[in-house]
A and B are shown apart, each in its own frame.
Chain A
Amino acid sequence: MTSRSTSWRRNLATLLAGALPILAVLMLWYAVCALELAPVSLLPPPDAVFGRFLVLLGDRTFLSHAGITLFRLFAGFGIALVIGVGIGILAAGSRTVAGLMQPVIRVLAPVPKIALYPAFVLTLGFDHSSKIALVVADAVFPILLATYQGAAAVEPKLVWSARAAGASQTRCLFTVVLTAALPSILTGARIGLIISCIVVFLAEMITSTDGLGQLLVRAARNFQTVDMFEPIIAISVLGLILNAAFNAVSARLLVGFSDQR
Chain B
Amino acid sequence: MARLRSLPGLSALVACLALLLIWDALARAFAVSGLPPPWGALRQLPSLLSDPETLLNILASLRRMAIGFFVALACAVPVGLMMGRSAVVAAFFNPLFMVIYPVPKAALMPLIMLWIGVGDVAKVLVIFLGVSLPVVYHSFQGARAVEEKMLWSAAAMGLSARARLLRVVLPAALPEIMVGARTGVVLALITMVTSEMIARQTGVGNIFFTALDMAQYDTVYAMIIIIGALGFACDWGFEAVRRVAVAWAEPSHQIAVGSA
Contact = CB atoms under 8 A, between A and B. Distances in A.
Contacts of B223: 115
A231 B107 contact: yes
A191 B257 contact: yes
B235 A194 contact: no
A91 interface: no
A105 B253 CA distance: 12
A191 B179 CA distance: 15
A236 B209 CA distance: 27
Nearest to A134: B259
A243 interface: yes
Contacts of B260: 114, 198, 202
**On chain B, which size bracket covers the interface?**
35 or more
9 smallest CB-CB distances across A and B, nearest first, come from: A239-B102, A122-B34, A110-B235, A18-B95, A103-B15, A220-B110, A103-B11, A17-B91, A115-B227
Interface stretch (B66-74, B159-167, B170-178, B185-193): B185-193
Contacts of B228: 111-112, 115
Interface string A105-118: 11111111111101
A85 interface: no
Interface of B: 1, 8, 11-12, 14-16, 18-19, 30, 32, 34-35, 87-88, 91-96, 98-104, 106-108, 110-111, 114-115, 186, 189-190, 193-194, 197-198, 208-209, 212, 217, 220-221, 223-224, 227-228, 231-232, 234-236, 253-260
Secondary structure dominating the interface of B: helix
A114 B91 contact: no
Interface in A90-104: 99, 102-104
Contacts of B227: 111-112, 115
